[in-house]
Amino acid sequence: MKNKFTKNLFFVILFLIFFIIFLFSGQNYNLKSITFIITNITILLFLTLNKNILFIKKALVTYSFLVFSILSLETLFYLKNKNDENIIIKTKKDSVKKFYIDYDERSLSQYIYDHNRFNKKIYPVIFPMNFIERQILLDSKKIIPLSGISNKPTVYCNESGFYSTYKSDDYGFNNYNEIWKELNQIQNIVLIGDSYVHGACVNQDDTISNNLNRINEDHRFFNLGMGGNGPLTNYATLKEYGSKLRPIKVFFFFFEGNDYIDLDNELKSKLLSNYLDINFSQNLFENNNEINLAKLKYYKKYYTSNVSKNFIGEIIRIKNLRHKLRLLKKKIINIRTIDSNIQNQRENELNKFKPDYNIYPKNKELFKIIQNSKDIIQGWGGELIFFILPDYGFYFDFKSGKAIKRENYTEIFKILESLNIRYIDFYDYLENNSDIMNYFPLQLPGHYNKAGYEFISKIININLNEISK
């Protein structure tokens, strides 16, 4: 009896170990497939060695039902997502017809797979927010890199019918390496921000920084933006890289559509929150080569095997079901938070679809980030200038034929005015602008297109000329 119990316990523990590995092996498709096979072999072996025929029959039926239910549910989620993707692609293809261009329907992973198959090695963008979830180790110390892999052909995104690509610079940003060689020859200006500064969905020549480098020969413009960055990550980037450039101007881009929410998520990282101490640094610039080697290892571990070759491979990963479970967990946590703070004055705000940013709870941290940024830049004789990008409300107003008018100013303006910081409000250039739709890819909501980035570049250049008068 004791031997039977020990044997059963052994197989149960073994099954649980493999099941946990399967669930938490992230996007490693090969490991997930191997674990799936081993788990099933373990269960079948356990049932085969069990001499109780009735038990075997019941167990097989139960297990088969569970596996069938899980895979069926995953198949439904997979088909729904594919249908949603097809609707988006169809919408874009319908828009493409007006512009007489071909639309690349491949997914990002398929695009990378096709390139690598023909020995045209290309890498996806690895964003700082990816490292927040999975930090890298450097000399047994946790590090959050603030840029992508250095000196690699990189693919970003597709919103205009083609995948945007660029060759990353020595530090993993979207710049031509040549500008780093001109540091002491001409005055530097730095742009920091999220995907808009990074150059989302346009090619390298068409980013805001490279537009400015063409139209303004009196300065060198450095792009230190990365997609997904919020105010805290931008501030950290300023400290790690901007301070080495000592620019005369720093344009800090702030997107009202998600930067408040991004800051919420960033403050959950203990390592990132250390940057609120003005003296904290990870010394990323000084350890660039070692950190880049660690990024390459990170890429090989988490990105090289995430392309499923077929429908069965996609289903085995049960990626969609796991994603739904993570969302459910977050909802449960939020419900518990609301229940425990039922008397809190933020209760109504938490239940709204859109938070009331004028009573945004993280204003203290946002104020400190902006104040510290100003102090650091003034320390080397430079000036901090904010560039405010409004959310998509103006786009939908314009499309529906309504007047373009900002209903309220968010807390960012109060902070900037209290700290006497100059800012450019992009909304001012959109209110009476009849070309708004032409600034978006295929005239659909998304990042700005080539024309949109050119327009922003001209606004910055005009303001620079006015400041210098």
Separation of CA 128 from chain center: 7
pLDDT of residue 59: 64
Contact 444, 95 (CB under 8 A): yes
199, 195, 227, 230: which is closest to 212 by C-alpha?
199
Which pLDDT belongs to residue 332? 46
Nearest to 284 by CA among 227, 331, 241: 241
Distances (CA, A) of 150 to 154, 224, 234, 291: 10, 13, 19, 10
Confidence at residue 105, expressed as pLDDT on a 0 to 100 scale: 81
* Confidence at residue 349, expressed as pLDDT on a 0 to 100 scale: 33
* Other residues' Cβ atoms within 10 Å of the Cβ of residue 131: 23
Identify the pLDDT of residue 161. Answer: 87
The stretches of 107-165 forming alpha helices (DSSP H) are: 108-117, 128-133
CATH homologous superfamily of domain 110-306+362-468? Answer: SGNH hydrolase (3.40.50.1110)
Question: Residue 141 belongs to what H/E stretch?
Answer: strand 141-143
Comparing CA positions, the residue from 62, 434, 139 lying closest to residue 294 is 139
Write the CB contacts of 207 (distance below 8 Å, at least 6 apart in sequence).
166, 174, 197, 198, 199, 223, 453
Strand 422-425 and strand 383-389: pairing? parallel
What distance in Å separates the CA atoms of residue 193 and residue 262, rounded to the nearest whole number?
12
pLDDT of residue 347: 33
Cα separation of 191 and 180, whole Å?
14
Q: What is the pLDDT of residues 379-399, one digit of tens each?
A: 999 999 999 998 877 777 777
Give me the pLDDT at residue 68, please. Answer: 66
DSSP letter, residue 240: I
**pLDDT of res. 137:** 87
Q: Which residues of the chain have pLDDT under 50?
A: 306, 308, 331-361
How much is the pLDDT for 341? 37
Quickly tell me which residue has 């693919």 as its tokens: 155
The reported pLDDT for the residue numbered 410 is: 75
| pLDDT of amino acid 127 | 95
3-state secondary structure of 290: helix
Q: Which two tokens stand for residue 170?
A: 């020595």
Radius of gyration of the chain (CA): 26
What letter does residue 390 receive in the DSSP assignment? P
Q: For residue 214, which amino acid is it? A: R
The DSSP result for 32-83, as a single string, is: HHHHHHHHHHHHHHHHHH---HHHHHHHHHHHHHHHHHHHHHHHHHHHHHHH
List % helix, strand, coil for the chain (3-state, nearest 5): 55, 10, 35
* Angle subtended at Cα 43 by Cα 38 and Cα 45, rounded to the nearest 5 degrees: 90
CB atoms within 10 A of CB 279: 7
Query: What letter would DSSP give residue 238?
Result: I
Q: How far apart are CA 46 and CA 39, in angstroms?
A: 11
**Residue 422 to residue 200: CA distance in whole angstroms:** 26
118: three-class secondary structure by DSSP:
coil
